[in-house]
Chains A and B, each alone.
Chain A
């Protein structure tokens, strides 16, 4: 309560002192939206430290434009999407929401996100094409501004690779050979594990192979989860698990942490945010890891997938869409904002200009041995393959966890699990009333 009162007080004080200049400034750039007087926006986000970044806005550009943003910190994940949709049903969704890229089609198909192409079109040039395309869903509309990305990379124990005489794999074939070579030299160790408890990893690997899980043609959706590219990925990992070349235990468990920390597993296919995870999972091996580009399907290729990442979107319930879009653009393209996001929240920015400045001029502490960590990361990020998300990614992800989890545990056929994933996803889309082309 006191908070809102104070905010109103500040806002009206600002209105008196800056009123004339601010209005004059607005008049030229805005196309006459009903934007008179101070605007107050709410923003649902899970990014830690976002309140501090938003403070910069409220004290800087926001103060000038009389747009105050209030952060309401949320828990991330599918549950937040459900919460946004429930709030939207009551017409009470916040002005701004943070949304993972794969959640955008779900939100858009429920008419929860506003098209802000008019306000943020200028920002397009600041992002890699594959990243920006995720916020347009292949249309002329723009439903969000990219915030952070998770280009995938290959992490390995530099010291142990040397000890066992292993070469960093550049193709997936080499990757499989490396796994086998390690098994021969040290049977109790594994190169890595295939884990089914984070679907984003598999989705990213499929994306690298060129899979397009959801596409549209006309009014119809086409689901390509069981396409040739994904089959290739599924078979590759399934075979490795089956022959025992890699482990089949899930990641993010205490046992997994221990395996990384003690060097039982010596590599991890992950994304740019891995240093943070490794810091907590394997504290004793700090400085012993190195990062390399993801292995490729053929030596001539140079693509990577993405695992994680999110965007800032404006809801259709917002009364001040223009102001909200302005904030979303500032948050994800402004130099100071991006520096603060990197410092306070530890995110890897989607904006290409920010990937080499500020916090990203020195490597993460955990990787202090790899001076060019972020230069390499930026180069890898540029090669991110486009992704194609559909309106029921959550269903596909849940089936993935169940079907592939069981297949990994039983070391059974991964392509059968992929078929299940395809069938369940299509069945759910039909149930939801989408037209699906067979």
Chain B
């Protein structure tokens, strides 16, 4: 209480009240969020820095030298990793790219069509479908993995590329996001105008609505790509052939070599570092699509 009173009293004491005291006060307020954000950034980046630095250390340096001192073994680690079981690591990387790339693409396609339909058309049961989807958003995909395995086992699809791709195609969150985005970005007037001009519904969607939805769909694609890339449990349950493993599962086999065999830490860390790079690259490339958001918009009001 007293300190507050003091601070309030201070301007009155100055010769030019308000102007002199204003800016420092504002700066003091901004300090807290800045520090909080910096701490947050540090919290996120420190482990990444650790992985980057640790991946440069050779086996003997890994645990014996100072944590943030770069080592000398990066190229060696890289060639060891590539040589491990005839380069199975790159096979895992390729598999992950396939699962995440194709999976996210298909998922985005499904999400865009369904999201658009839910946003533009009024039909019986629309809200019911949407509510079920919302419930799906709340359902963690982890608990679906085992039922999905048992289902696909009946169709004899387990241990195949399809078994990992199929369950990831329908993303409730993607549909939800697409609907919200389509409702906001595709004005009913534009759809109406296109209908007046004689375009059929499919043409309206592909030629008019889809381009308007691109920034939203990029987000859906990115989310889904990251989700599939990082997914562990679904491929873990579905796949038994390690040549079909995605990178997450592959790295796990490097870690869990059996109680009697030490984990291949140097390979694992180098592998983890390389596995992050595609995601970083993807974010950097895709970022530009988000700025489109500001420029797009067909109806001037």
CA A90 to CA B154, docked complex, whole Å:
8
Partner among B154, B237, B253, B260 whose Cβ is within 8 Å of the Cβ of A148:
B260
Interface pair B256/A273, CB less than 8 Å apart: no
A396 to B107, CA, bound (A): 42
For B249-278 the 0/1 string (1 means CB < 8 A from A) is 100110111111110010000000000000
* Mask of A13-31 contacts with B, CB within 8 angstroms, 1/0: 0000000000000000000
Given A72-B241, A75-B252, A281-B63, also A46-B150 (CB < 8 A): no
Give which listed residue, A75, A86, A284, A348, contacts B60 with CB less than 8 A: A284
B90 on the A face (CB < 8 A): no
- Given A75-B255, A254-B63, A87:B260 Cβ within 8 A: no
Q: Which of B150, B153, B240, B258 has the most chain A CB atoms closer than 10 A to its own CB? A: B258
On whether A284 and B262 interact (CB within 8 A), knowing A46-B257, A74-B240, A90-B150, the answer reads: no
Contact between B256 and A46 (Cβ–Cβ < 8 Å)?
yes
- Nearest Cβ on chain A to B72's Cβ, whole angstroms: 14
B64-A284 in contact (CB<8A):
yes
Give the shortest distance, in Å, between A212 (CB) and chain B (any CB): 21
User: Does B242 sit at the interface, judged by CB under 8 A?
Assistant: yes
A348 CA / B261 CA spacing, docked (Å): 11
Q: Are A92 and B158 in contact (CB under 8 A)?
A: yes
For window 75-107 of A, CB contacts with B under 8 Å fall at 75-77, 79, 83, 86-87, 89-92, 94, 100
* Interface size counted on chain B using CB atoms at 8 A: 30
Q: How far, in Å, is A102 (CB) from chain B's closest CB? A: 10
A: interface residue count bin: 35 or more
Question: Of all chain B residues, which has the CB nearest A94?
Answer: B240
Q: Please indicate the chain A residues that have their CB under 8 angstroms from the CB of B259 in the complex.
A: 76, 100, 150, 198, 200, 273, 307-309
**Does A257 make an interface contact (CB < 8 A)?**
yes
Interface residues of A in 279-301 (CB under 8 A from B): 279-281, 283-284
Task: Give CA–CA (A262, B65) in the complex, Å.
Answer: 11
Closest Cβ neighbor of B86 among chain A residues: A51
For chain B residues 216-259, which have a beta carbon within 8 Å of chain A?
236-237, 240-242, 249, 252-253, 255-259
Are B260 and A283 in contact, CB atoms less than 8 angstroms apart?
no
Q: Contacts A150-B259, A276-B261, A310-B258 hold; do A73 and B64 have CB atoms under 8 A apart?
A: no
Q: Which residues of B contact A44 (CB under 8 A)?
A: 240
Give, as a whole number of angstroms, the nearest-CB distance from B289 to chain A.
Answer: 37
Closest to B153 in A: A90
Is B146 located at the chain interface by the 8 A CB criterion? yes
CB-based contact A276/B260 at 8 Å = yes
Which residues of A lie under 8 Å from residue B240 when comparing CB positions?
A: 42, 44, 72, 74, 83, 87, 94
Having A44-B240, A281-B63, A346-B261, one finds 10 other A-B pairs with CB under 8 Å, namely A86-B149, A87-B158, A87-B240, A90-B158, A91-B153, A258-B64, A276-B261, A283-B60, A307-B259, A347-B260
Measuring CB to CB, which residues of chain B are less than 8 angstroms from any residue of chain A? Answer: 59-60, 62-64, 67, 85, 146, 149-150, 153-154, 158, 236-237, 240-242, 249, 252-253, 255-262, 265
12 pairs, A vs B, C-beta closer than 8 Å: A76-B256, A83-B237, A87-B158, A89-B150, A90-B158, A92-B153, A100-B259, A258-B63, A261-B63, A280-B59, A309-B259, A347-B260
